[in-house]
Structure 1
Amino acid sequence: MTRSIDYGNLMHRAMRSLIQEVLSDVAENGLPGAHHFFITFDTRADGVEMADWLHSRYPEEMTVVIQHWFDNLNVDDDGFGVTLNFGNNPEPLYIPYDAIQTFVDPSVEFGLRFETQDSEEEEAPEEDGDDDPPPAGDRPEAEVVSLDKFRKS
């Protein structure tokens, strides 16, 4: 049996930990400056809590915005609860980190996207049984991209 490092799982845990830390800070200190979040989540995921009428309206996924009006932001190790305003109807939600599909803060052009195992398997190229690498002349040349190219000045 060969052992390998599961980088995908490690990365997902690190990204969820980042979201937990950011939301914990916002719960304690409020949103700084122009920061705000768009959070898309799977409404069918285990542990999601939301009003029946919201679930009927968003049976698969929903994007919430934490910006001007939110209340009762409570963050724990598994997810976060928040009360948001839907057409002058304050509604409590509980969103487990495992349900989050995207987390974006457009004020600083930051975003995380979580791929599910199902979508990774669907997008993976099919194996053709040929384990030999292509000849050197047939391999595309790698391009090294500097992260400085993407930094704001």
Structure 2
Amino acid sequence: MGSDDIEMVGHGFFLEELPVGRRFRTIGRTLYEADLMAFVHCAGYGEVLFTDSEFVKEHSDIKGRLVPAAMILSIIDGLVLQYTAQHTGFAFLDCEMKVHGPTFVGDTIHAVCEVTEARRSKSKPDRGIVRTRNEVFNQDGKLVLTYTPARWMKARTTG
């Protein structure tokens, strides 16, 4: 029995499976100090708000181990992609992002996603654009970030 004969799990959604109004939720993800340091060093976020605890204690309006919004976006979008776009998502086209409140090391975040746009491409009928509104919540149910990615997605059929 070859691998082509076995059902593949974890395959992403096709365009047809993402109608406007469809909603889903990601699993949760706890943010650790190691995550923050890896992101800060990898992305070059040397801002003292993320690297200097003494500065934060003495000068910041927000106390605690803050996490950059870009890190929240990256981690949550990774969770969304992991379960929705494997083999079917071909490009991240754009997004708008709004930060609603701080996120800290130790928080557990998840997203609630709603499809707000889904349309087939006229020039490539086996592809389409899907936009979602992704709201990121912490463990207390507080909305901390919203973003609206548009993605180039594979369709199951050509029309």
Q: TM-score higher than 0.5 here?
A: no
Larger relative CO (CA 8 A, sep 6+): 1 or 2? 2
| TM-score, with structure 1 as normaliser | 0.29
